[in-house]
Amino acid sequence: MNIETTDSTDTFSDDAFQLVAQNEQFIIINKMPGISFHTENEVLGIVERVKSAMGVSELYPVHRLDKITSGLLVLARTPEANRAISTLFRERRVDKYYLAVSDRKPSKKQGMIKGDMVRSRRSMWKLSKTLENPAITQFFSTSLVSGKRLFLVKPKTGKTHQIRVALNSVGAPVLGDPLYNTDSMKVASRGYLHAYAIRFNLAGTDYCFVSEPTVGALFTSPAFKQAIKQYAEPWLLAWPKTNV
């Protein structure tokens, strides 16, 4: 089967996104941080902005990214592609990899985080010890600079705020997170969470897309460029077993 890869070298971009790849079935973009998924107060959300910028009349979001999160987003171009790709996500046949930075020391440097997510105060969630319908997150981490740690995260499920809650549960909330690490917003230029890589098979073709973050002092630093080398092909790493 054919494998398609990208490093976000396409020249099309605007202030909200960069075009990573497109074909008759889908468009892949690199969303910038701070861009809402939905239209808010007459400010267009990311899907509408892509449609407007690219002159596309129909686009179907098959998954979502939080406002603070940058990175790879898949948008289906037809109802048929929407159904097919949405099924892949629902059946957990899409591998997703995220990068995050925290200014806190985690209780463990790698492993699996598993538990039910329950609502907390405001718009927050927290992880419980019950396992009725658990969020499952695998991760590795490495030192970035003094007082900062880089995380490579692979969510096996797709819950709201899953990665942000998972890292918070091990004492390492995302740097610049306005809900789970409010103190760090005073010094962070952005929320340091990025959808880094995605892989799936659609109609017999294997697709693989990788996009490094382009915004944020820590995400563009020489230390990051060095640290990310060990995560260049995240699907090849020995991820913790999940039995899912």
Integer Cα distance of 41 and 39 in angstroms: 7
Rounded (10°) CA dihedral 148, 113, 185, 150: 30
| Catalytic residue of the set 7, 10, 15, 66 | 66
Q: What is the 3-state secondary structure (H, E, C) of the chain?
A: CCEECCCCCCCCECCCEEEEEECCCEEEEEECCCCCCCCECCECCHHHHHHHHHCCCCCEECCCCCCCCEEEEEEECCHHHHHHHHHHHHCCCCEEEEEEEECCCCCCCCEEEEECEEECCCCCEEECCCCCCCEEEEEEEEEEECCEEEEEEEECCCCCCHHHHHHHHCCCCECCCCCCCHHHHHCCCCCCEEEEEEEEEECCEEEEEECCCCCCCCCCCHHHHHHHHHHCCHHHCCCCCCCC
User: Would residue 66 show up in a list of annotated catalytic residues for this protein?
Assistant: yes
Enter the tokens of residue 9: 């070298």
Residues carrying an active site annotation: 66
